Amino acid sequence: MDVPGRWKGLDFLLNRSGNITGPDFEPDPAVREFLHDSCRVLCVGAGGLGCELLKDLALTGFGNIDVIDMDTIDVSNLNRQFLFRMKDVGKPKAEVAAERVKARVKGVQVTPHFCRIEEKPIEFYEEFHVIILGLDSLEARRYMNQVACSLLAYDSDGKPDLATIKPLVDGGTEGFKGHARVIIPGFTPCFECTLWLFPPQVKFPLCTLAETPRSPAHCIEYAHLIQWGRDRPDEEFDADIEEHMKWMYKHALARAQEFGIQGVTYQLTQGVVKNIIPAIPSTNAIVAAACTLEALKMVTMCSTQMQNYMMYVGTDGIYTHTAAYEQDPLCAICSPGLPFEVQSSMTLQQVIDAISSARQLDKPSVSYGAENLYMHGPLEKLTCHNLTKVIGDLVDGDGSIIQINDKKLSATLQLKLKFTDTPMLDANGTS
């Protein structure tokens, strides 16, 4: 990656001290060497925002980039996803994007992964210094947030273990609006803490769809929610299957013509069914630049980190606003442990029954630190003897944090045990 003069601007940042550098920053040419040779960054998504992120990361000096995306290239992508060409239609986005970036920025290594993010084991995500999200799916963001938070470990005092932190940079765009945010598990609010930032999806009353449609979206949703189930009851609709989408467009158009409604197009049908808002290339570029800068600051400490959410609005001019949102102390994903009251004399089985009842769980497994207290499946015979033991003998006392796993949980649930029968101490330390 050593083209003469290429990294002159980067060297100005990394080889000089300043008033806004991050904590413990020390100017040194070795910082750029680390960025080029050792630092590993994962870009999740290779669409409109992902293409911009990959380009920016490579041109900023990141030498080892992985990209993961499950999608293939469609003709409709070509107007804004600039790493793709007409000859690439039908090919995996991750693979084509990786080859284009490597061809353009000599020396950078880009490793593609053409699969779902859920298909990768948790150990895969542990390999990276920072993970950048360029996603258009709320569910995928929540999954990656859970992955990062599940890697975080707390010490006996409930403080985050710094060695286990896996930072996230999340970018998102919606037309002329966008955001960039920094998630440091254990220190900043995670995605679940601020889920309220995302507006609920627009829903239409079924009576309107069935009886009095007034817009193209009503006709499309009628075909989607009512007609598909009636005409093809044994098939599950998949918006990524072209034949399904063409069927949806055909019947939505017929519905619109029946009620004299104009404006139903194939592109609009895709947008309504997939909840897609038209992407604006300039918004992608601005948000990707902000995310890349935050990733650079994370791994080099060349400047102070964003605190911790930046909003961009480009509808009337250019407006940005940065807000420091706070952690939710009762967040089930990133908190050191949700308080849960039990008696120290209860058996582990009684504790499990109480947790199952309170959290509507099925067959929870329980661990305490590195010790499996009770596990379903292959380890059940090895741990079932703990069920009759009292919880006070299995943990270190009031305030101990246990981990709960269950198929109904999307991530490990951490509970901070509060023993209700613990005697109160007076000022002299006696009960």
Listing DSSP states for 184-215 in one string gives -TTTS--TGGGGGGSPPPP---HHHHHH---S
Token digits of residue 111: 């490793």
Token digits of residue 330: 């009762």
**Quick check: helix, strand or coil at residue 12?**
helix
DSSP states along 23-44: TT----HHHHHHHHHT-EEEEE
Write out the E strands in 226-359: 309-313, 319-323, 338-342
Return the closest-CA partner of residue 6 out of 109, 99, 98, 105. Answer: 105
pLDDT of residue 407: 83
Longest Cα separation, the chain:
83
pLDDT block averages, 10 residues each, the chain of length 431 = 81 89 89 94 95 96 96 87 94 96 94 94 93 89 89 75 92 92 93 81 73 90 92 88 93 94 91 77 95 95 92 91 89 83 92 91 86 86 92 88 82 84 50 46
Per-residue pLDDT tens digits for 169-228: 999 998 899 999 999 998 999 998 888 887 666 666 777 788 888 899 999 999 999 999
308 upstream amide cis, omega within 30 of 0: yes
Angstrom distance (rounded) from CA 341 to CA 419: 6
pTM (two decimals): 0.75
pLDDT of residue 431: 46
What is the chain's length?
431
pLDDT of residue 311: 94
Angstrom distance (rounded) from CA 403 to CA 406: 10
Instruction: Catalogue the active-site residues.
Output: 207
Q: Are 89 and 135 in contact (CB under 8 A)?
A: no
pLDDT of residue 424: 42
- Report H helices in 107-205: 122-126, 138-150
